[in-house]
Amino acid sequence: MVNDGSVPLIAQVAPTEDTCTTTPAALTPPPREEAERIARVFKAVADPTRIQILAMIESSPSGEACVCDLTDPLGLTQPTVSHHLKILVDVGLLTRAKRGTWSWYAPAPDRPAALHALLTQPH
């Protein structure tokens, strides 16, 4: 890709640090729309509380949890926990099933697997 057949006669000491803006092909970013869609998912997990919520639900023996299971261990109020859960549902990382008075939250089956891997075995 760089320095193929067309080699200058002058032996350059450094391989590729002449110019930058004059690179043969200008870099083009991916469509803004696509970048925003990806960023939206990352933004949902870019909060320590929501990462804790996801981990709690996934480690739950029944595979799901309701709001009242989360408030006390997290030390947050019920509206705050509901707010975080809504964000996670909106981006498709959790599902909500209302049975009776309680709302049960569970990991969405089609959530990105790589995201889960990053969450469970961080780095």
Partner DNA sequence: CGTTCATATAGACGGTCTTCGATCTAATCG
Partner DNA sequence: CGATTAGATCGAAGACCGTCTATATGAACG
Cα-based distances in Å from 43 to 39, 56, 75, 87: 6, 19, 22, 9
Nearest to 57 by CA among 4, 10, 120: 120
Judged by CB under 7 A, the residue of 56, 96, 108, 115 near DNA is 96
With left for phi above 0 and alpha for psi between -120 and 50, is residue 3 left, alpha or beta?
left
Q: Please give the Cα distance from 18 to 120 (Å, whole number).
A: 44
120 binds its own copies (CB under 8 A): yes
Binding mask 20-49 for its own copies (x = CB under 8 A): xx-xxxxxxxx-x-xxxxxx-xxx-xxxxx
Q: 60 contacts which partner out of its own copies, DNA, none, CB within 5 to 8 A by kind?
A: its own copies
Site for DNA in 5-64 (CB under 7 A): 20-21, 43, 46-47, 49-50
Site for DNA in 70-89 (CB under 7 A): 75-80, 82-87
